[in-house]
Structure 1
């Protein structure tokens, strides 16, 4: 692995066991979100040295940069985007570049792929080109892989998610984000399909903290390497508290420690 990429991945992981990634890129897709109306205030409220990295688009990333530095949180610049006002919101287009990520002092970039969507070939082509740029510049790449097209009957299907995970590895991603399949047994199938870290998406705000924490625990027991949770953190009534509870699970490796962390 290129020295620059290895160094940046190390800065993201921060000596912890697993990745705790916090996407806050929802505003481009959905518009103003009340919980992210004051993004600077939200970032400032997070506990220091717990969140591995924040995923953001370039305008927000530049605005919150000083707060990320003060909290020792890495920046992952999100390169993909679409809006729910589009005739095809599932079609993700490139909005920025690896070179611009370097200018923003980002430690990684991310791309979003919706497999099965009408524009899947274009998204995969963009993915491949960004992957080559990342290799050229020594920039880590996070691939957000979702199964959301017309042919997809169940976006949590283990075979579909395993395929999505494998695509990310085949095309050069360093970390892949996918949906949790719902059980330790099925998620083990996803994890063993690749030789890169697999982190789980959080999805919509869960009904309870226990549901969130159990999902984290089970994914780690299956061999997952962390989470990329947005709404289950920034829509929580106490983001600082839920962040600490998630981090406790992520940074305990034994089964007994995991059970104690959730209870």
Structure 2
């Protein structure tokens, strides 16, 4: 028997015509504080919604202080795990929210972060598994952010390590899996091939708009189902314009070159 609640919520997080997603994570306030682009939470959410993103990701404070009250609607994914940059073990993500509470707060989905290869990997995997069980019970979509990151990892974008991370997320019950892009469409296609769940690419380090558009186009060619990109959106020169053209690549098949040209014409 299908989980109709989960199906309905998943439809709110994606474009129903393409089945793809453009998500903007805004959970950085817990990890690194009020960085540029996220100082004013409400304004940041407004900007992301106006740009056409399908959903935002944040902690409990996001809907409390940045709830959207007008204009375009936008999906809400509440992030359940956290750590801060001043922790002696910043790679250890602990649960700070629950699936049931996310439902009460009006969330359309939840997300959990796991760092494979870290000393605390077992606890993070256990948390992911427990959340996945709760998500199935409540009909809540689950996004697993899966990163090869820790002292046992030499290269966080190694295709084989990313491939493992993606598969672990799917095997443990995620409905969507977020991983780092491996740098080229050929190797990323192998990541997609080995993961039965839809894959979203992370934004990673700050890139130019042109570089990010190329990454998006190549990831989509490799079979990704969308993006989960933060700083490269809200710290761009014009987040609304950047999102509009990123969405055009994801949903409408616009090329990276076309997007870059239109972005330069608009932003300069």
Q: Same fold (TM over 0.5)?
A: yes
CA contact (8 A) 1:82 1:91 kept: yes
What's the CA shift for 1:46? 3.4
Aligned residue for 1:40? 42
Aligned counterpart, 1:162 = 163
SS of corresponding position for 1:251: helix
Output the CA distance in 1 between the equivalents of 2:76 and 2:206: 23
The match for 1:215 is: 215
Deviation per CA, 1:162-207, whole angstroms, max 9, x where unpaired?
Answer: 000000110000000000000010000000002111000001211x
Quote the offset at 1:31 in angstroms: 1.4
Q: Secondary structure at the match of 1:13?
A: coil
Give 1:258's match in structure 2, choosing from 242, 255, 260. 255
Q: How far off is 1:234 after superposition?
A: 0.7
Asked if residue 224 in structure 1 is aligned to residue 224 in structure 2, the reply is yes
TM-score between the two structures when normalised by the length of structure 1: 0.94
Aligned to 2:68, the other structure's residue is in SS state helix
Structure 1 stretches of 4+ with a deviation exceeding 6 A read: none
Contact 1:202–1:230 (8 Å) recurs in 2: yes
Map residues 1-263 of structure 1 onto 2, 5 A cutoff: 1-17=2-18, 18-48=20-50, 50-67=52-69, 70-206=71-207, 208-253=208-253, 257-258=254-255, 261-262=258-259
TM-score between the two structures when normalised by the length of structure 2: 0.92
Structure 1 residues not aligned, in runs of 5+: none
Q: Could you tell me how far 1:35 is from its partner in structure 2?
A: 1.8
The SS at the match of 2:237 is: coil
State whether residues 55 and 75 of structure 2, in contact with CA within 8 Å, keep that contact through their aligned partners in structure 1.
yes
Give how far 1:252 is off. 2.2
Please list the CA deviations of residues 16-66 of structure 1 after superposition, one character each: whole Å capped at 9, or x if unmatched: 421100000001011121321111112223354721110000022222223
| 1:49-94 residue CA offsets vs partner (Å, 9 max, x unmatched) | 7211100000222222234x74210000000000011100000000
Distance 1:111 1:49 in 2: 25
Q: What is the match of residue 265 of structure 2? A: none
Change (3 A) 1:120 1:245: same
* Structure 2: runs of 5 or more not aligned: 262-268
Work out the CA distance in 2 between the residues paired with 1:134 and 1:121: 20
CA contact (8 A) 1:248 1:261 kept: no
Preserved contact between residue 49 and residue 74 of structure 2 (Cα < 8 Å): no
Aligned-partner Cα distance in 1 for 2:136–2:120: 25
SS of 2:37's equivalent? helix
Cα RMSD of the aligned pairs, angstroms, is 1.5
- Between the aligned partners of 2:33 and 2:144, the Cα distance in structure 1 is 23
Equivalent pairs, count: 258
Q: Deviations over 1:93-135 (max 9, x none)?
A: 0000001110111110000000001100000000000000000
